[in-house]
């Protein structure tokens, strides 16, 4: 694992962007798995489709950053669009709870936006 990480770091470019996309997606899956297990603290986890949308958005951010040449405007716009889509879809559901919004936003920012910014 260390050897693969070293090769990806020194290779840079697309291998690095794809590795970061995989790591972002894996961290997002891990985060939402943890959220689902916390029934006492968060009784209303986000629905499955919302989790899948967050994972897709988080995994696409490093690739988008690399494809745009490191311009942060595209990442900020993609994050805002992703959260707006999640909020709009959750609002349509009449039984939405605040926990669904907060855990979705935190997952999107913490698992997708921040690692992408740190790499930049």
d(CA 85, CA 79): 10
What is the longest distance spanned by two Cα atoms in the chain?
50
Structure tokens at 52: 């899948």
- pLDDT value at position 1? 64
Mean pLDDT by 10 residues, the chain (120 residues): 72 84 90 84 76 87 86 82 80 73 81 77
- pLDDT value at position 12? 77
- pLDDT value at position 30? 92
- pLDDT value at position 42? 66
CB 32 within 8 A of CB 108: no
- pLDDT value at position 44? 74
Find the length of the chain: 120
pTM of the model: 0.78
CB 14 within 8 A of CB 21: no
CB 107 within 8 A of CB 32: yes
């Amino acid at each position: 694992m260390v050897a693969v990480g070293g090769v990806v770091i020194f290779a840079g470019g697309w291998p690095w962007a794809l590795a970061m996309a995989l790591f972002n997606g894996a961290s997002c899956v891990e985060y939402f798995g943890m959220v689902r297990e916390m029934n006492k603290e968060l009784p209303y986890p986000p629905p499955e489709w919302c989790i899948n949308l967050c994972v897709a958005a988080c995994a696409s951010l490093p690739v988008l950053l690399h494809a745009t040449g490191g311009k942060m405007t595209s990442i900020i716009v993609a994050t805002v669009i992703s959260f707006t889509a999640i909020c709009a879809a959750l609002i349509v559901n009449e039984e939405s709870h605040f926990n669904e919004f907060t855990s979705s936003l935190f997952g999107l920012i913490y698992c997708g936006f921040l690692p992408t910014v740190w790499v930049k």
